Structure 1
Amino acid sequence: MTKDRKIALGVDIGGSHITAAAVCLDQFEVIPGTSINQKLDSKASKEAILEAWAGTIREALSHRACNESMELAGIGIAMPGPFDYPNGVAMFAGNDKYECLYRVDVRKPLSALINIPEEKIHFFNDASSFAVGAALQQQVLHKRTVALTLGTGFGAAFLLNALPTIEDALIPENGCLWDKEFKDGIADDYFSTRWFVRKYRAMTGETHTGVREIVASHSEAKHEVFQEFVENLTVFLSPHLEKFNAEALLIGGNIARSHHLFVEALRDTLGVPLGLQIEIVEDTENCNMLGASHLMKLDYWKQQAALKAFF
């Protein structure tokens, strides 16, 4: 039987989970029923982690949608940093996750474990993957877009000409925001879960493990916390958005699920003054998988290498 449609396997790997699903490359949609999600122990051995990744990918690939009249174009994997994405080498050190993979070429053993050629396995930054997937979903891929992921860390990506860019005079160094100076520390200290936990504890004396628990509380202090969060984010982001001439701001991650407590205020402080479209994207994992699949189809790293050689 002729395989007349191409699919990709989109994979989203986080510090405590892996999700994989088949993605139709014609419509760039996750094929219903193909998504597999597993919890991970990032402190496990190298062999255990790679087998856990491979097991989830094998299970997703075994779905009939991946076998019936469809050709697997490749696998796009959204991965947190630090990671040598073009070469598939993990650089996790001092990150409290996957440290046993430091300097390990994970593409080679993963290829053997899932029986897929190495050249079909592609790695991309998770924030960049989210940006592309969310921009596709929100139909703003043609706009100058900044995408943020707010969760255990503060991720960011800048889209120019429909692709993530990390080398441009209009964006911060490496296209990252998490490590840029802000107040008494860096941005990651103020726009991640730990800031909400610390700030809420300072106001109430109560300790919660995450933003969801803070939002569920009956204390009025949560409104003050989110108000300060909006004030901080506005001060920090404004110069970066203005310099980039941003037209759209997409926000995802676990904290985005609490958008009812901050997005309208953010539209008032950032959206209106800058003429900026602000959208909340709640299905971050799907966007990561869609974005990684899209970048895989474009052979993004080969494109970047060609551009560098040209210029």
Structure 2
Amino acid sequence: MTHPHLPTPVLEIGGTHVTAALVHGPGGTWRVAPDSVVRRGLDAHAPAAGLLDRIAEAASGLGTGHSGTWGVALPGPFDYAAGVALYEHVGKFDELKGVDVGAELARRLGTAARSISFLNDADAFGIGEVALGAAGGSHRAACITLGTGVGSSFLADGVPVKSGSDVPPDGSCYLLEYNSLPLEETVSRRAIRRAYADAAGGNHDDAGAPDVREIAGAARTGDPVAAAVLDHAFGAAGAAAAPFLKRFGAEVLVVGGSMTGSWDLVEPALRRGIASVEPDLARLPLRKAERSEEAGLVGAAYWAMAAGSAV
């Protein structure tokens, strides 16, 4: 049962942080209560109990003046229907493998959680962008997020499409391959840092490599190694996604995630990658997410309200 007069509590969990917030809506009035946002850093390699405690700490910061119908957006692999983590060898949250995250959060939150609905973070972002931003007005929109990994969502009239030959498996581009390797071995935070460390100094250990933001800064100041690494990575994302953008009939591709802070480098490489595989898509509208900070939160709230209405 939903409580439309109360805001919806949501969590957005990423590889480096968790954000909790209260969302008001719907009816064209979707908005995140600005004074409600609680953000906490996460160590994606921490033990399961510590990770769950940190997430619950952020959630508890919202108090109890909400519907208790939680929407939680987080990356895969994850059994979203059962609330169970499936992470293994993906560079984040491996300690959560097999953990019933829904049950553990419910136990920690107590009466502040009437229900918890999970969805993929990229789907939450896509739903939110349709509701708020760059994907608005399109019937068939594709969204990707570039950050610690590659997220994606293919939306038909605002609803994620998760199966069929028109979309990647489960609608997830991170399951695709590029040059016979998983895509995230080429475009992800760790892959870009590793590639730069390797190309710059022959060092295959990325522990001491600069982060993507610094690599982007070096590319802008004329570092040919940095420029080549980023061009290859973002081009790979475009090339891997291109066949599905074509089959799906995407009217727009919206790009979010932390790496869009380097949009001047992302957009041309991504476009070249798409056009190299599907020349007909050379003029596909590519848009930087307009409401990156809010889209995932709004999408999670929408999902929670829809699930609550179905009960």
Class of the TM-score when normalised by the shorter of the 2 chains: 0.7 to 0.9
- Change in Cα spacing, 1:201 to 1:107, as seen in structure 2 (3 Å) is closer
Mapping 1:9-24, distance limit 5 Å:
9-24=9-24
Partner of 1:97: 92
1:199-242 per-residue CA deviation (whole Å, 9 max, x = no partner) reads: 43454439633210112223331333344345434432321111
1:72-94 per-residue CA deviation (whole Å, 9 max, x = no partner) reads: 16111011222111121222233
Matched, 1:33 2:58: no
Shift of 1:177: 1.6
Task: Provide the rounded CA distance (Å) in 1 between the counterparts of 2:131 and 2:209.
Answer: 35
Task: Provide the rounded CA distance (Å) in 2 between the counterparts of 1:203 and 1:46.
Answer: 35
Shift of 1:25: 1.6
Shift of 1:264: 4.5
Partner of 2:111: 116
Letter in 2 for 1:77: V
Secondary structure of the corresponding residue to residue 178 of structure 1? helix
Do the aligned residues in 1 keep the contact of 2:169 with 2:175 (CA within 8 Å)?
A: no
Do the aligned residues in 2 keep the contact of 1:19 with 1:35 (CA within 8 Å)?
A: yes
Letter in 2 for 1:16: T
> TM-score by structure 2 length?
0.82
Letter in 2 for 1:138: G
Shift of 1:131: 1.4
Task: Provide the rounded CA distance (Å) in 2 between the counterparts of 1:285 and 1:11.
Answer: 12
Which of 285, 288, 297 is the equivalent residue of 1:277?
285
Task: Provide the rounded CA distance (Å) in 1 between the counterparts of 2:126 and 2:104.
Answer: 28
Secondary structure of the corresponding residue to residue 147 of structure 1? strand
- Change in Cα spacing, 1:176 to 1:269, as seen in structure 2 (3 Å) is closer
Shift of 1:246: 0.6
Task: Provide the rounded CA distance (Å) in 1 between the counterparts of 2:48 and 2:4.
Answer: 38
Do the aligned residues in 2 keep the contact of 1:76 with 1:292 (CA within 8 Å)?
A: yes
Letter in 1 for 2:5: R
> TM-score by structure 1 length?
0.82
Task: Provide the rounded CA distance (Å) in 2 between the counterparts of 1:55 and 1:21.
Answer: 12
Query: How many pairs are equivalent?
Result: 294
Partner of 1:161: 157
Between stretches 132-141 and 144-153, larger displacement belongs to 132-141
1:125-158 per-residue CA deviation (whole Å, 9 max, x = no partner) reads: 1111111112222253542111111122111111
- Change in Cα spacing, 1:96 to 1:136, as seen in structure 2 (3 Å) is same
Do the aligned residues in 2 keep the contact of 1:6 with 1:73 (CA within 8 Å)?
A: no
Secondary structure of the corresponding residue to residue 298 of structure 1? helix
Do the aligned residues in 2 keep the contact of 1:151 with 1:255 (CA within 8 Å)?
A: yes
Partner of 2:77: 82
Superposition RMSD on alpha carbons, in Å? Answer: 2.9
Q: Which runs of 5+ in 1 are unaligned?
A: 304-311
Letter in 2 for 1:41: D
Matched, 1:263 2:267: yes
Partner of 1:130: 125
Do the aligned residues in 1 keep the contact of 2:24 with 2:31 (CA within 8 Å)?
A: yes
Secondary structure of the corresponding residue to residue 166 of structure 2? coil
Secondary structure of the corresponding residue to residue 115 of structure 1? helix
Letter in 1 for 2:222: S
Shift of 1:119: 4.9
Partner of 2:186: 190
Do the aligned residues in 2 keep the contact of 1:257 with 1:282 (CA within 8 Å)?
A: no
